[in-house]
Each structure stands twice: as C-alpha cells, then as structure tokens.
C-alpha cells in the first residue's frame, strides 16, 4: 500500500458536516464503504463530506476522502477491542472541521438521517439496549464536534494499562470519559435499532415470519454474529435466533 494511495484525497474539506467511517484489516471490503456512502446520499438532504480512515483504499469510491488511521501508539501485542475508533478524536484530524457523524461500516440506513446532524447535544451515542441502566453507549453511531474532546486520546495513551483492565472495549471507555466531561447524551431510542434484538422473530415464529422493520427506525445496527449479508440471504444466527432472508434490508443495503 503506497502513501500516494492513502493520500488520494488529502485536501482539507470545507464541509461542516462530516460522515466518518473506519476500515482496517480485511473483515470488511471496500464495498461496505461504498454502500454506506450510497445510503447516506439517499437518506440525507444536508451537504456532507464522507471521510474514511483506513489502512487500504483500493476499491473505495473516489467521492470518499481517505486518510490513514492515526496511530494510537499502543504497546505491541495489545488486545484489539475497537480501540482504533478512538483515533477519530485526534485534536487535529487532518484539518477537518465541523460536525462529525461516525457510522460503523455494517450499519444499514433505512430512513432520512438529517436529524442526526442537528439533534441537540455535545456528544450523542446510542443508549445500550440490553442494559439501559448503564452509562455505556453503543458506538455504532455517534456525533461530536471535531476537536471538542482534545484530551480523550492523551488520557487514553497515558493510562492505557489501567484502561484496558477497567474497560472491555472502546465504547465503554468513550462513554465513561465523555460522561466525566458532562457532555454525554443519547439518540432518541427509536432512531437506532438492533437487528438482533428488535427485528428478528423469536423461535418458533422465526422459522415462518421474516424479520420486521421497527417503526420510526432510521438506522439498523448489526452486532454479534449476524451481519448485513446474513440478513439479506438468511442464516448466520444461532439456533435460538433463526434468520430468514429480509427483503427490506436487501433493498436498503446497496
């Protein structure tokens, strides 16, 4: 991978609304970035620039600005718990400015998302569905002002030994830190729904009735063993989460 390929769009964007995503390793191909870009275009009317932080740019739509993932400088052999996503909080992220809406590559957008750019709050994240009494949010969708949390990364790097024992993953640390700054708030609960928890039918109905689209949902979140291709084709779940093909996911995820 050449420096030239990673800097294919190194000019600083003038857009005030940035849609951020991140792709590292080989789990997700360029088609995930391209589908996400297409879904944002179809389901928003605001002016935005899509930015992908990645270690490989091959196949990514030229309309998406690509930059290298800022290094976290963690000790060699440190467990991978999604820590890379914290690099979106670099105090000066390639000169980008404005609102940043971060979206995981495997989300599926099913309705207009304009409100995600304007909903009041300093930092917004999905409230945990399974344990809503916890502070921890789901970081599949979060929004912040670029550069507004300038010390979150320096604190992480300086206290990594303690943090990796205290927090299971990046979203636990992220939610805790932002809450300490009195800036944490959550998206309206109907906007972001879990495919696993809110769309799949329970057994035995799951063998006969396809997954449902939650009313008023805007973004469907995939986590655990099921991903969008499983939702489109059926399968991928455990025996107690039988997955029939979903036509509405197929229509949306393109």
pLDDT per residue of the chain (254 residues) written in tens, 0 to 9: 444 444 444 444 445 899 999 999 889 999 999 999 999 999 999 999 999 999 999 999 999 999 999 998 888 767 666 899 999 999 999 999 999 999 999 999 999 999 999 999 999 999 988 888 899 999 999 999 999 999 999 999 999 999 999 999 999 999 999 999 999 999 999 999 999 999 999 888 888 999 999 999 999 999 988 999 999 999 877 766 789 999 999 999 99
- pLDDT of 181: 96
- pLDDT of 11: 41
Beta-carbon-side half-sphere exposure of residue 138 (alpha carbons within 13 Å):
24
Structure pTM? 0.91
């Amino acid at each position: 991978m050449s420096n030239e390929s990673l800097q294919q769009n190194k000019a600083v964007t003038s857009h005030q609304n940035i849609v951020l995503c991140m792709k590292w390793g080989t789990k997700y191909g360029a088609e995930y970035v391209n589908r996400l870009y297409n879904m944002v275009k179809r389901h928003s009317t605001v002016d935005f620039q899509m930015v992908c932080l990645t270690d490989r740019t091959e196949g990514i739509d030229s309309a998406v600005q690509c930059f290298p993932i800022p290094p976290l400088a963690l000790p060699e052999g440190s467990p991978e718990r999604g820590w890379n996503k914290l690099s979106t909080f670099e105090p000066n992220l390639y000169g980008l400015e404005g609102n940043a809406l971060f979206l995981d590559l495997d989300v599926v957008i099913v309705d207009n998302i304009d409100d995600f750019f304007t909903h009041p709050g300093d930092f917004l994240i999905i409230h945990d569905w399974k344990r809503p009494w916890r502070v921890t949010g789901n970081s599949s969708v979060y929004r912040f002002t670029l550069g507004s949390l300038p010390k979150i990364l320096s604190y992480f790097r300086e206290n990594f030994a303690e943090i990796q024992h205290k927090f299971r993953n990046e979203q636990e640390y992220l939610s805790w830190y932002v809450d300490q700054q009195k800036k944490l708030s959550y998206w309206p609960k109907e906007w972001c729904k879990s495919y696993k928890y809110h769309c799949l039918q329970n057994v035995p109905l799951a063998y006969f009735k396809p997954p449902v689209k939650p009313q008023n949902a805007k973004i469907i979140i995939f986590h655990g063993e099921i991903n969008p291709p499983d939702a489109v084709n059926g399968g991928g779940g455990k025996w107690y989460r039988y997955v029939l093909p979903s036509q509405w996911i197929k229509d949306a995820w393109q």
